[in-house]
């Protein structure tokens, strides 16, 4: 075959005007420094899109490219390629043409991949260019869905052959080939690959429903016969160290799992219902530990306010928001800022979610009498500079925390309130005198999570007259709408982002609180006068930046 001289990708991007000469020089230096491909470097920095790169590669290599987001994959075709090969080389079979297999590939020049594909499928291979991210997403959707259904069928067939008791109690937990072991492993792994926050295994009268939560919404994974419930629950109990014989009382446990090199902690909650035990598993991704305060997503003005709050040598800083709003992640990021060699930081949490090197962390254990309040009393005898309390749950805990703040300690904690201003009257309602709250409190950060628009399929939209009335946004304002593609499971959203409200208690607000003016409305109005950006303000800021939608912004208003 005659060799053709091909232009380098960087030169192609430059000649087509996608990058400047300076960007090309920088990209070449980065390529030498990191060893990454130049196209990957430009995409990561947002200089070009993956579609730009694929178009340039098509011109360079003479190989067509496809957008997998706009393509429905037939499992009967995809399954021609074994999953192990698909994952090893990042490929997915997308069609058959005259007994030749069309395969989307991130690297269509990989001769090892082409040879393995030809050997495993016994077909000629037609390579097609596609983005790595798109291929991985389709692999996860295609193979794992079919695998789950296949294993569910195996388990149901096995249960027909043997008694449920035998399956539940006689399958050893180390037998990785057992159908029930495979089913539970597959459920956990598939949900982790999807980035789920929770799994729900729910018993009903005639069947069991398995759902997972992504970006705050539940999606169905599978349904199985009612007879499988006890076997699934028993397997989970074994993994999380729970009593397999106890089915009358709630149980809580924990375990950890590694998927594709990603270590994930799992919190298990089992609750007896009228149709059997319901299991909820929460995933705690250790990658969340790497987030810094800058990664949390504060508006620049609010980021500066939070930085200043953390410089206080003493006082209380509260983080408020509903369950699942990312409070623990933000607290962990704040603690990393404070974590210096010359300070002693102690936390009391239920449970410890983010393990941070250099910080003394205590886990609440109510079974032996170790509560937030009792742990706090002991912590104060440990010469702490900074104390983090997982949650202000009762009057005793809040009273100790306020006294600790007044006597020279910096205290960080959380409360369940709708906004920042509501936390002040909540502390007073818990039994702490208003003058003490005023003296102790330095600031409150309220946080919500909204769904992030999928950058691959979002579309521009002009606000209509009707929408202007609903959202109180000027007609004609340019925003983005959710559409849906394969990369976001047709939802239009991918991931979530945090929206904040930062209330700084200055001397004026301190005097106001200390004098007994602690109504939510009074405090909020005064804070806004003094420059506070509300949750609504920051949500709208993200809408204008194309990060989220007006619908998500409105959801914050309903929560308030």
Helix H, strand E, coil C: the string for 155-194 is HHHHHHHCCHHHHHHHCCCCCCCCHHHHHHHHHHHHHHHC
d(CA 176, CA 179): 8
Alpha-carbon distances of 207 from 146, 182, 232, 276, rounded to whole Å: 20, 20, 13, 11
What pLDDT was estimated at residue 1?
A: 39
Q: Is the peptide bond before 268 cis (omega within 30 degrees of 0)?
A: no
Q: Is the domain of 125 the same as that of 214?
A: no
**Is 71 a domain residue?**
yes
Strand order in the sheet with 217-225: 217-225, 207-214, 198-203, 276-285, 262-273, 251-259
Asked if residue 351 lies in contact with residue 254, where contact means CB atoms within 8 angstroms, the answer is yes
pLDDT at residue 171 greater than cutoff 60: no
Contacts of 481 (CB under 8 A, 6+ apart): 458, 459, 460, 461, 492, 549
Residue of 488, 486, 492, 489 lying closest to 461 (CA atoms): 492
d(CA 353, CA 344): 20
Q: Is the domain of 313 the same as that of 365?
A: yes
**Is 21 a domain residue?**
yes
What pLDDT was estimated at residue 169?
A: 39
What pLDDT was estimated at residue 469?
A: 86
Over residues 174-192, the mean pLDDT reads: 78
3-state secondary structure of 478: strand
**Is 77 a domain residue?**
yes
Q: Is the domain of 121 the same as that of 93?
A: yes
**Is 514 a domain residue?**
yes
More confident residue, 306 or 55: 306
Q: Is the domain of 318 the same as that of 445?
A: yes
d(CA 267, CA 269): 7
Q: Is the domain of 124 the same as that of 249?
A: no
Over residues 225-233, the mean pLDDT reads: 89
**Is 73 a domain residue?**
yes
Number of domains in the chain: 3
Give 386-436 pLDDT, tens digit per residue: 999 999 988 999 999 999 999 999 999 999 888 999 999 999 999 999 999
What pLDDT was estimated at residue 430?
A: 92
Q: Is the domain of 87 the same as that of 168?
A: no
Pairing outcome for strands 198-203 and 276-285: antiparallel
The neighbouring-strand residues paired with 220 are: 211
The pTM of this model reads 0.68
Q: Which of 286, 315, 347 is the last residue of a domain?
A: 286
pLDDT at residue 530 greater than cutoff 80: yes
Q: Is the domain of 298 the same as that of 274?
A: no
pLDDT at residue 173 greater than cutoff 60: no
Over residues 464-472, the mean pLDDT reads: 86
What pLDDT was estimated at residue 158?
A: 64
Torsion of CA 463, 468, 473, 479, to 10 degrees: -20
Burial (0-12, 13-18, 19+ Cβ within 10 Å), 558? exposed
Residue 113 belongs to domain with CATH number: 3.30.300.160
Alpha-carbon distances of 498 from 31, 448, 546, rounded to whole Å: 33, 6, 14
**Is 45 a domain residue?**
yes
Asked if residue 78 lies in contact with residue 121, where contact means CB atoms within 8 angstroms, the answer is no
**Is 466 a domain residue?**
no
Q: Is the domain of 338 the same as that of 444?
A: yes
Q: In 10 A of CB 190, how many CB atoms?
A: 23
Pairing outcome for strands 207-214 and 315-320: unpaired
3-state secondary structure of 113: helix
Q: Is the domain of 298 the same as that of 278?
A: no
Q: Which of 131-140, 211-220, 290-299, 535-544 has the lowest mean pLDDT?
A: 131-140
Q: Is the domain of 363 the same as that of 300?
A: yes
Q: Which of 221, 253, 286 is the last residue of a domain?
A: 286
Residue 411 belongs to domain with CATH number: 3.40.50.300
Asked if residue 97 lies in contact with residue 126, where contact means CB atoms within 8 angstroms, the answer is yes
What pLDDT was estimated at residue 4?
A: 44
Give the structural domain span for 323: 291-449+496-533
pLDDT at residue 40 greater than cutoff 90: no
Contacts of 58 (CB under 8 A, 6+ apart): 64, 65, 129
d(CA 425, CA 234): 45
Q: Which of 286, 301, 325 is the last residue of a domain?
A: 286
d(CA 336, CA 330): 10
What pLDDT was estimated at residue 502?
A: 97
Ramachandran angles phi, psi of 549, nearest 5°: -115, 165
Residue of 13, 82, 24, 99 lying closest to 50 (CA atoms): 13
Give 132-142 pLDDT, tens digit per residue: 888 887 887 77
What pLDDT was estimated at residue 167?
A: 43
Over residues 500-519, the mean pLDDT reads: 94
3-state secondary structure of 408: coil
Torsion of CA 544, 455, 72, 151, to 10 degrees: -110
Q: Which residues of 484-514 are buried (b: 16+ CB within 10 A; e: fewer)?
A: ebbbbbebbbbebbbbbbbbbbeeebbebbb
Q: Is the domain of 260 the same as that of 312?
A: no
Mean predicted lDDT score pLDDT of the chain: 87
d(CA 142, CA 150): 13
Over residues 265-290, the mean pLDDT reads: 89
Tokens 């430009």 correspond to what residue?
42
**Is 486 a domain residue?**
no
d(CA 167, CA 144): 24
Q: Is the domain of 367 the same as that of 406?
A: yes
């Amino acid at each position: 075959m005659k060799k053709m001289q091909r232009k380098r990708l960087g030169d192609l991007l430059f000649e087509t005007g996608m990058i400047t000469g300076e960007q090309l020089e920088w990209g070449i230096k980065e390529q030498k420094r990191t060893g990454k491909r130049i196209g990957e470097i430009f995409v990561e920095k947002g200089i070009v899109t993956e579609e730009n790169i694929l178009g340039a590669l098509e011109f360079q290599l003479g190989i067509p490219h496809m957008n997998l987001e706009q393509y429905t994959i037939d499992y009967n075709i995809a399954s021609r390629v074994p999953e192990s090969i698909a994952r090893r080389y990042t490929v997915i079979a997308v069609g058959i043409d005259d007994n030749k297999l069309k395969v989307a590939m991130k690297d269509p020049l990989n001769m090892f991949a082409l040879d393995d594909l030809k050997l495993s499928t016994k077909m000629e291979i037609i390579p097609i260019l596609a983005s790595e991210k798109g291929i991985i997403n389709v692999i996860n959707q295609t193979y794992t869905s079919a695998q789950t259904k296949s294993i569910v069928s195996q388990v149901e067939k096995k249960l027909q052959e043997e008694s449920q008791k035998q399956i539940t109690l006689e399958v050893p937990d180390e037998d990785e080939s057992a159908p029930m072991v495979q089913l539970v492993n597959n459920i956990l792994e598939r949900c982790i690959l999807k980035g789920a926050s929770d799994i729900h295994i729910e018993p009903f009268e005639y069947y069991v429903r398995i759902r997972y939560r992504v970006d705050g919404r539940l999606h169905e994974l599978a349904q199985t016969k009612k007879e499988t419930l006890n076997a699934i629950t028993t397997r989970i109990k074994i993994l999380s160290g729970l009593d397999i014989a106890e089915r009358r009382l709630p149980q809580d446990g924990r375990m950890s799992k590694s998927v594709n090199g990603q270590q994930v902690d799992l919190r298990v909650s089992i609750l007896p219902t009228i149709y059997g035990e319901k299991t909820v598993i929460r995933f705690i991704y250790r990658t969340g530990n790497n987030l810094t305060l800058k990664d949390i997503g504060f508006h620049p003005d609010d980021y500066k306010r939070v930085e200043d709050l953390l410089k206080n040598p003493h006082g209380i800083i509260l983080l408020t928001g509903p369950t699942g709003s990312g409070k623990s992640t933000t607290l962990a990021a704040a603690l990393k800022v404070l974590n210096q060699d010359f300070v002693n930081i102690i936390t009391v949490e239920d449970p410890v979610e983010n393990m941070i090197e250099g910080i003394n962390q205590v886990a609440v254990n109510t079974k032996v009498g170790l509560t937030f309040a009792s742990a706090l009393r002991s912590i104060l005898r440990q010469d702490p500079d900074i104390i983090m309390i997982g949650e202000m749950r009762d009057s005793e805990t809040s009273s100790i925390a306020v006294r600790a703040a007044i006597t020279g300690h910096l205290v960080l904690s959380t409360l369940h309130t709708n906004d920042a201003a509501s936390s002040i009257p909540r502390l007073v309602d818990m039994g702490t005198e208003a003058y003490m709250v005023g003296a102790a409190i330095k600031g409150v950060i309220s946080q919500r999570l909204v769904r992030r628009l999928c950058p691959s399929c979002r579309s521009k939209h002009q606000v209509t007259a009707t929408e202007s009335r609903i959202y109180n946004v000027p007609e004609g304002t340019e925003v983005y709408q959710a559409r849906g593609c394969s990369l976001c499971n047709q939802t239009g959203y991918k991931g979530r982002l945090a929206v904040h409200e930062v209330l700084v208690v200055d001397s004026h607000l301190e005097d106001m609180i200390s004098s007994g003016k602690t109504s939510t409305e009074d405090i909020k109005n005064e804070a806004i006068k003094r420059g506070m950006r509300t949750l609504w303000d920051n949500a709208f800021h993200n809408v204008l930046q194309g990060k989220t939608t007006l619908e998500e912004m409105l959801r914050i208003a309903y929560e308030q």
